[in-house]
Amino acid sequence: MALISVKDVSFEYDGNIVLNELNFRLFKGDYLCVIGENGSGKTTLIKGLLKLKQQYKGDIVFGDDLKSDEIGYLPQKTFVQKDFPASVFEVVLSGRLNNLKLKPFYTKKDKIIVEENLNLFGISNLKNKSYRELSGGEQQRVLLSRALCSTKKLLLLDEPATGLDPLATADLYKIIKKINKEKGITIIIVSHDIQNSLKYASHILHLENKQIFFGVVKDYVVSDIKHRFFKGDS
């Protein structure tokens, strides 16, 4: 059974349809890259999958016993109050929230997982720093660590490379591929980085306020759509 089935799904804001008639299915271990121009509806789709935004038509069905508390998520924008007092450790630890279930407190294991993810993104040294005093790229790494902390079966990343330097970006794609391969975690990533997307993803979803392509990368590379949008770019 498919992990996620999207059937005839449409989204609207204030009566304007921004995404029309989406139809695709993802299976366990798939790596989907969502591409499209600014305003094409990528973030809306991610929010729809997370039930942060209600579709006005169609069905989004989770299969394979996927529950909403087994998902990791990196938002495109995080509105944190400018003066919010929170240490990096506290922020990343809040990613373990979906593991609390009925327990009131985090366990030793949760804290170990936090340490691991801080290490993964090279920010262990920032652990006790205040989140609001970090640079944009550092904050992005913190939020990426938090996203990985809550990932069990599915990871949704909305433009994860925003603000990262080239080295960190390359690392990021490797890290994502690694957890996709080794742990069989399904990945959905929104990205404008077509090279890395084609290199690592298994599937491509191209949006233009509707679905103009869904399929495996091999088919996408030879399709007209790809040539129309990324002239000369490979």
Ligand X SMILES: Nc1ncnc2c1ncn2[C@@H]1O[C@H](COP(=O)(O)OP(=O)(O)OP(=O)(O)O)[C@@H](O)[C@H]1O
**Contact positions toward ligand X, by CB under 6 A?**
13-14, 18, 36, 38-44, 76
Shortest Å, Cβ 11 to Mg ion: 13
Q: How would you class 131 by CB atoms within 10 Å of its CB: exposed for 0-12, middle for 13-18, buried for 19 or more?
A: buried
Q: How far is the CB of 138 from other proteins (least distance, A)?
A: 15
43 lines the binding site for Mg ion (CB under 5 A): yes
Binding-site partner at residue 36 among other proteins, ligand X, Mg ion, none, CB < 5 to 8 Å by type: ligand X
Distance CA 80, CA 11 (A): 26
Task: Output 25 or 53, the one with its CB closest to ligand X.
Answer: 53
Instruction: Note whether 76 binds Mg ion by CB under 5 A.
Output: yes
| Interface residue with other proteins, options 15, 16, 65, 105 (CB under 8 A) | 105
Task: Scan residues 129-188 and list those touching other proteins (CB under 8 A).
Answer: 130, 132-133, 146, 150, 156
* Buried b / exposed e along 52-88 (16+ C-beta atoms within 10 A): ebebeebebebeeebeeebbbbbbeeeeeeeeeeeeb
Residue listed under structure tokens 């995404």: 19
**50 near other proteins (CB under 8 A):** yes
